[in-house]
Amino acid sequence: MKDLIIAIDGYSSCGKSSLAREIAQVLEYAYIDTGAMYRAVTFYALQNGMITKESISEEILIQSLNKIDIHFEYNPISNSNDTILNGQNIEEEIRMPEVADKVSQISSISQVRKKLVELQQNMGKNKRIVMDGRDIATVVFPDADIKIFMTADPVVRAERRLAELKEKGVKTSLEDVLSNLKQRDHMDENRSDSPLRKANGAFVIDNTSLSRKEQFDIAIKHIYNFAHEN
């Protein structure tokens, strides 16, 4: 099979990262979680006082972008990549609700997107990569070999996210998680820069009623069919 760029886009809490990791592992490709990159910038802004309940200091954040270094390191315990921000492992911190509450606002800042898109494109210059996010097949790699768009019922997505948070000991409610999810969907779909869209020719997976295995089987079959036909 020839070397591929596999782009996976979709809504929050659709299991994009889980699917992307599984595909990358089977194909022995590199996996890049672009959502983690935007979460890392959000975490940096929170830690440095650029985000308050009332506002975000966009100009200060923009001026600080050259101080932000993001990369991924393989974790043999979890068998996945951890997010490293300026030398600090922040994989757990970026999954917390306070980051999730602000990440869509941070990701809507054009200069932030420009910086991270450049990093992402550089990561995929040699292909053999699986990348997931909101604009991978529309902006980062519009000529990706495989384009997958993932969706699911909002309540089902909220239930999945709530279960993840409970496993980490985070106390919240389904109502709060669903409200945050709907807010993120709205911002992702309506931001002026690189809004969430299904790319032309993207293969759609609605996993509302699918197990992880069923979802994976559908995706990998699509990939192998493409490779066979091309």
Residue type, 11: Y
Residue 156 has pLDDT above 90, yes or no: yes
Q: How far apart are CA 147 and CA 223, in angstroms?
A: 9
Cα torsion angle, 141, 144, 146, 147, sign: positive
Closest to 109 in 3D by CA, of 56, 53, 37: 56
Computed on alpha carbons and rounded to an integer, the radius of gyration of the chain in Å comes to 17
Could you state, in order of their start, the residue ranges of all structural domains in the chain?
Answer: 5-229
pLDDT of residue 97: 87
Q: Tokens for 116? A: 């991270």
What is the structure's pLDDT at 77?
82
| Number of neighbours of residue 105 by Cβ within 10 angstroms | 18
pLDDT > 90? residue 56: yes
pLDDT score at 8: 97
- The set of residues, in sequence order, having a beta carbon less than 8 Å from that of 177 and lying 6+ positions away, is 158, 161, 162, 165
Per-residue pLDDT, 213? 96
CATH code of the region 5-229: 3.40.50.300
| Reported confidence tier of residue 217, pLDDT bands at 50, 70, 90 | very high
pTM for this prediction? 0.84
How far is residue 180's CA from residue 166's CA, in Å, rounded to a whole number?
Answer: 16
